[in-house]
Amino acid sequence: MNKMLLYSTVLLVFSACQKIDNYDQLDLLTDKEWALTSISENGIEIADSCELDNSILFSKDGKVSNQFGAINCNEEYGFDEWKFAQEYSLIKLKFKIAGKGLNGGVGIERREVLELSENRLLLKENVASQVQGMPKIYTYQYQ
């Protein structure tokens, strides 16, 4: 009987810690403006200067605010919504594509969370690029 109580208590403590950690992840990510500082592929920097003046803000309500800087890359879309998936290890980013038919609609990008700290966010594209065949790594810094 005492062993059962001990196991139950240990299980409760560990499951409670996981929930707190999840809320910590949410708090670390949201309501901050994250400046894009790097896009790399296979260890090589591939970002254009027009991309490196952009930033993104994730809201707790699942909305995304895109800030495109003064140097314009002819950005065709920005993300509209986001959510965590796979126990906070993946971010799904939803965006709208302009146009009709095959050229228009809604798209979803999935990015693996490699690092999330107080002032650094590191995301890995979930698909390989057609150029190098490697996924892109996006580095953001909290401003």
d(CA 4, CA 23): 29
Q: 29-38, pLDDT tens digit by residue?
A: 999 999 999 9
- pTM score: 0.75
Q: Which domain holds residue 22?
A: 2-142
Average pLDDT, the chain: 80
Q: CATH number, domain at 37?
A: 2.40.128
Backbone angles phi, psi at 45, to 5 degrees: -70, 125
Q: What is the mean pLDDT of residues 121-128?
A: 87
Q: State the total domains in the chain.
A: 1
Q: H helices within the chain, ranges in order?
A: 2-29
pLDDT above 70 (res 102): no
The model's pLDDT over 9-33, given as tens digits with 9 standing for 90+, comes to: 333 333 333 333 567 889 999 999 9
Count CA atoms within 13 Å of residue 34 on its CB side: 23
